[in-house]
Structure 1
Amino acid sequence: MNGFEKRRQEKKEAILYAAKELFKQYGYSKVSIAEIAKKASVSQVSIYNFFESKENLKNQLLKKLWEDYYKTIIDIVNGNESIRKKIEKFFYTVVDYSRNYTTNFVVESLRNELKKDEFFVGEQLSSIEEIITSLLEEGKKEGIIKNTITTEVMLNFIDMFRFYVINNPQAVINYDRNPKLLDAMISLILTALMV
């Protein structure tokens, strides 16, 4: 990557970061392109050159946030740690995602995308479910995950936790105030799943 391309990429990243922070703080509808430009130290024209519109900026930001989350999950699963540690890290990642990215704008935007046929994370959502399923099945074969509970029930249990954390920003605030609460919550979940 030459110097021009590098500066261009840095500028684009600065815009995405500024948009994420402002949308997180104030919500999508209350933030203007001018405010994003100011926070990113770029011109409004640059934002339009990169993203064409505020809506497209939001969509590209959501896609980037989701891809980062997806990559983190893949990295956890492909790591060399025990199945127990991988599942534990998965739960911490759900909370980290919520802490860093889940804001009213993200939750509402993803809900709106779910209603559309072109939902950009559909394949990755299915992939994550397949990954978690194979992790649970592998754990059952190794005798560290309970065989008395179906994988479908376990996936529903995991989804309840994800839904709770993602749709309840107060939960993350409580976990940040009292990290032992999160550790205890994850320990309780692991106790339910593990032998």
Structure 2
Amino acid sequence: MDGYQRRTEKKKENIRKAAFELFATYGVEKVSVAEIAKKANVSPVTIYNYFGSKEDLTKSVIEEFFNTEMEKFNQIINADISYPKKVEKILFDRMELTKSISTDFIKSITDPGIQKLIEEWTNTKAMPAMMELIEQGRHGGYIHPNITTEAILLYFHIFTEAIQHPELFANVNKQTIIDIGHLFFYGLVGQPKKD
């Protein structure tokens, strides 16, 4: 890659970063290309030249965001730490992420092209990673062998939906979140029952 291409890629990266920060704070619909250009210190024409439209920029931003999150998720899955620590870290990361993103951003992603991108990403990247996490839990004896994968995925989904409401966790301390992680694994009994 020559100097021109490096500068171009750096500008694109700055534009995506600026767009993400604005989208995460105000939602996609409330942010204009002019605001993104100002924050990225480029002209609106540059954004159109690089991305074609606000919709295409939004897709690029979301795709990069998902890929970054997937990379973090895979690092946790492959880390040399206990299974409960992996799930705890995933939960903490999700909660921290949720605190930094406005609900307007999540709600404003209604474009059919973006919805298709999210669906495709979920099926090809997120679900295989979740299946790997579940298999690690089964293999380590943390997940009861009689619990179906469908039930586990629904449980994760319910938990993830709750986490996407930062107001629920606004005044929650770290120990409470650790306790929630414990509940996640062992329910109200507090620990696996020994027969």
Q: State the TM-score, normalizing by the size of structure 1.
A: 0.82
Relative to structure 1, the CA distance from residue 113 to residue 101 in structure 2 (aligned partners, 3 Å threshold; closer, same or farther) is farther
Note the C-alpha offset of 1:113. 5.7
Distance in 2 (CA, whole Å) between partners of 1:158 and 1:190 is 11
Equivalent residue number for residue 6 of structure 2: 6
RMSD: 2.7
Q: How does 1:41-120 map to 2 (within 5 A)?
A: 41-101=41-101, 103-109=103-109, 116=116, 119-120=119-120
Alignment partner, residue 133 of structure 1: 134
Correspondences of 1:166-181 after superposition (within 5 Å): 166=164, 168-175=165-172, 178-181=173-176
Alpha-carbon offset, residue 116 of structure 1: 4.1
* Identity between Structure 1 and Structure 2 (%): 30
Partner of 1:21: 21
Report the AA paired with residue 135 of structure 1. Answer: Q
TM-score by length of 2: 0.82
Q: How many Å apart are 1:59 and its aligned residue? A: 0.9
* Unpaired segments ≥5 residues, structure 1: none
Rounded Cα–Cα distance in structure 2 between residues aligned with 1:150 and 1:104:
34
Normalized per residue, which structure has more helix?
1
Alpha-carbon distance, 1:16 to partner: 1.0
Deviation (angstroms), 1:154? 3.1
Rounded Cα–Cα distance in structure 1 between residues aligned with 2:104 and 2:132? 28
Would you say the 8 A contact 2:109–2:115 is kept in 1? no
The 1-side partners of 2:118 and 2:52 are apart by 19
Alpha-carbon spacing, 1:55–1:74, altered in 2? closer, same or farther (3 Å)? same
Query: Number of residue pairs matched?
Result: 189
Listed as ranges, the gaps of 5+ residues in structure 2 are none
Measured at CA, do residues 131 and 152 of structure 1 come closer, stay the same or move farther in structure 2, by a change above 3 Å?
same
Asked if 2 retains the 8 angstrom alpha-carbon contact of 1:37 and 1:43, the reply is: yes
